[in-house]
Structure 1
Amino acid sequence: MRRGRLHRALVAALVLLGAGTAAGTAPAWASASSPAGAPAASAPRAEDASLSPGLLRAMRRDLGLTAPRARARLAAERTAAAQEPKAREAAGAAYGGSWFDARAQRLTVAVTPDASASAVRAVRATGALVRTVAHSARQLDAAKSRLDRLSAPRGVSGWHVDPAAGTVVVDVVRDRRSDNDVERFLSRARAAGPVTVHQVAAAARTYAAGTVGGDPYYTGNVRCSIGFSVYGGFVTAGHCGQPGAGVSGWDHSYVGTFQGSSFPDNDYAWVSVGSGWWTVPVVLGWGTVPDQLVRGSAEAPVGASVCRSGSTTHWHCGTVLARNETVNYSQGAVHQLTRASVCAEPGDSGGSFISGDQAQGVTSGGWGNCSSGGETWFQPVNEILGRYGLTLHTA
């Protein structure tokens, strides 16, 4: 989308704040809960300032929801996000994971058979549904950690805990399923704990792109998208640049420098800004929706709707599919990513994922495209804030 010079000068500041929501399906998928030391997530506001006609149209296009159903779902998801930490605490050691049930429009919390009656009552008192599962979240996380220590062949795309299924799901590229090295990996994976094999169409890849024009930022001949503004700069994907690398904006003027970057293992980075650039709590809507204000970073549960903005494919929506997923990119495995049913393409890397007005993460990678469909992984924003001691710029 082209803009007039004056409008683009204003948008340049918005982009720094997190105006590229999702940037291409990159190497890492899974997500994880915010690590210890991460800044506390801001609670969702009672009113939803993001329910613009454009957002409702995007949810109809990507999720098949009418405007009334989209409004009801967003309200239910805000409630679920607030209930989740309380329900997790109430379940204690019997906690088996949680997710948003789109049909019931409620949070579902899994507990193990040894959960006490008082714990179950406490979970239900939060308003969540309760389901009994065989394995606790701690047991499933331990099994996944054992897989994380294995070396995976390229035919294995990644793995994550699925609390609803009660297993660790290993994604295998369909046409590599019978490869000997894949079979050996699966044999070792099954020995590590409860495992289910899921076949996918293609391996994950990153979505940085060569300099082909369009918004927002460039590092050398690589174009990526800004994630979210923090005080002093913005966060983005680690595979977009190394510490010390200079960054230029949409007009190729100097913006700032990569101050920290990690990839693989993680896929996050932060860029300091200067030279007349500044940050604002906004995600670019690309004309599909109005530019979105960022009011916090409360983590949306699995099953909740999420939208992203990126410099190549602009604004698209989907749902959160999995957290804490390990993705096996060609450059190496990336851990603790979140997977979403949202498409992306090269140049979208580093862009913002947002749920309502709550920042979720920055685009890492994925598979597919926005013509035929695909899935994308993002690095949770609270983990990035905690790692670098940053503060999200909010409205």
Structure 2
Amino acid sequence: AARAFAAGVRDADARQVRVVDERPSTFYDFSGGDAYYIGNGRCSVGFAVAGGFVTAGHCGRPGQAVSGRNRAAMGSFAASSFPGDDYAWVRTNADWTGKPAVNTYQGAAVAVRGSSEAPIGAAVCRSGSTTGWRCGYILAKNQAVRYVEGVVSGLTRTDACAEPGDSGGPWVAGNQAQGVTSGGAGNCTFGGVTFFQPVDDILSAYGLRLTTA
């Protein structure tokens, strides 16, 4: 005979179920390095901040809508600067909650506890929705890079690789946020050079508060 699968529910309990007027919705969370989409394009979340997340400016323009890794509506660009700088922040909707963490794509996340700047020579790692978790060293700071769209100044140079789609993703030194991926040369098959926009520049420019563990 068929039976109910809700263990421990008596008939009397079942008769007390009420239908309510509220319409529940599903909620999602996001971490640094997760994919997000701008139309048919894809970038990576940088770091969660109060109200949304920071990312690369070349990923989108103010007012442009974004969807999350699951293609659910996520929010829109609140502000963006590129070229000159390469930073932006996305204001997320009420369905999404930012986590103070970076997705390593290796089963564990790195908690974000602050944004103390690492010196030249320090080891850094980055996360991105194309190539996952990659590490290297800081080679130089305050670099000016000439992209097709124009020059971006104030970038940090590293020897960690990245590829298209990793843009906007987070860089960390230990548990300290460092920046978001801007661009570079090479790839993760043969190696390359990648630049990031320091995160404190973004927080200062837009008056944002980093979400920390």
Query: Same fold per TM (> 0.5)?
Result: yes
Partners of 1:326 and 1:13 in 2: how far apart? 35
Identity fraction in percent:
57
Q: Once the 2 structures are TM-superposed, how far is the Cα of residue 275 of structure 1 from its aligned partner?
A: 3.6
Q: What corresponds to 1:193 in structure 2?
A: none
Aligned to 2:56: 237
Q: How far apart, CA to CA, are the structure 1 residues paired with 2:44 and 2:56?
A: 8
Give runs of aligned pairs for residues 73-152 of structure 1, distance below 5 A. none
Out of 29, 37, 44, the residue aligned to residue 13 of structure 1 is 29
**Letter in structure 2 aligned against 1:302:** I
Deviation for aligned residue 1:224: 0.1
Letter of the aligned partner of 2:147 in structure 1?
Y
Cα-to-partner distance string for 1:48-73 (whole Å, 9 max, x where unaligned): xxxxxxxxxxxxxxxxxxxxxxxxxx
Instruction: Tell me how far apart the structure 1 counterparts of residues 29 and 108 of structure 2 sit (CA, whole Å).
Output: 15
Aligned to 1:350: 168
Q: TM-score, normalised by structure 2?
A: 0.86
2:177 partner amino acid: A
Q: Which runs of 4+ in 1 moved over 6 A?
A: none
Shift of residue 304, structure 1, vs aligned partner: 0.2
Name the residue aligned to 2:109: 291
Q: Are 1:268 and 2:87 matched, yes or no?
A: yes
Among 353, 356, 365, which residue is 2:183 paired with?
365
TM-score, scaled relative to structure 1: 0.47
CA contact (8 A) 1:14 1:283 kept: no
Unpaired runs of 5+ in structure 1?
1-8, 21-214
CA contact (8 A) 1:14 1:281 kept: no
Q: Tell me the secondary structure at the aligned position of residue 354 of structure 1.
A: strand
| Counterpart AA for 1:229 | A
Q: What letter matches 1:14 in structure 2?
A: F
Please show how residues 217-256 of structure 1 align to structure 2 within 5 Å: 217-256=36-75
1:256-279 Cα deviation digits (max 9, x unpaired): 110000000000000011141011
Q: Is the Cα–Cα contact under 8 Å of residues 30 and 96 in structure 2 kept in the other structure?
A: no
The unaligned stretches of length 5 or more in structure 2 are 1-25
Aligned partners of 1:294 and 1:14: how far apart in 2?
13
Q: Counterpart in 1 of 2:202?
A: 384
Structure 2 SS opposite 1:297: coil
Task: Show CA shifts across 1:325-361 (max 9, x none).
Answer: 0001111000000011100011000000000000000
**Secondary structure class of the residue paired with 1:281:** strand
Please tell me the root mean square deviation across aligned C-alpha atoms, in Å.
Answer: 1.3
Alignment-mate amino acid for residue 227 of structure 1: G
TM-superposed CA distance for 1:290, in Å, is 1.4
Higher helix share: 1
- Name the CA distance, whole Å, in 1 between partners of 2:104 and 2:150: 32
| C-alpha distance in 1 between matches for 2:100 and 2:212 | 5
- More deviation in 276-285 or 296-305? 276-285
Q: What is the count of residue pairs matched by the alignment?
A: 188
CA offset at residue 250 of structure 1? 1.0
- CA contact under 8 A between 2:179 and 2:196: conserved in structure 1? yes
Whether the aligned pair in 2 keeps the contact of 1:227 and 1:351 (CA below 8 Å) is yes
Partner in structure 1 of residue 148 of structure 2: 330
TM-superposition CA deviations, 1:276-300 (whole Å, max 9, x none): 101110100101x610100000000
Equivalent residue letter for 2:196: F
User: By how many angstroms is 1:14 displaced?
Assistant: 3.3
User: How does 1:198-209 map onto structure 2 within 5 Å?
Assistant: none
**C-alpha distance in 2, partners of 1:390/1:272?**
11
Mapped to 2, the partners of 1:216 and 1:341 lie a distance apart of 23
Q: Counterpart of 1:311?
A: 129
1:280 paired with 2:99, answer: yes
Query: What is the SS of the residue equivalent to 2:201?
Result: helix
Between the aligned partners of 1:14 and 1:317, the Cα distance in structure 2 is 22
- Partners in 2 of 1:341 and 1:230 — Cα distance? 27
Amino acid at match of 2:101: V
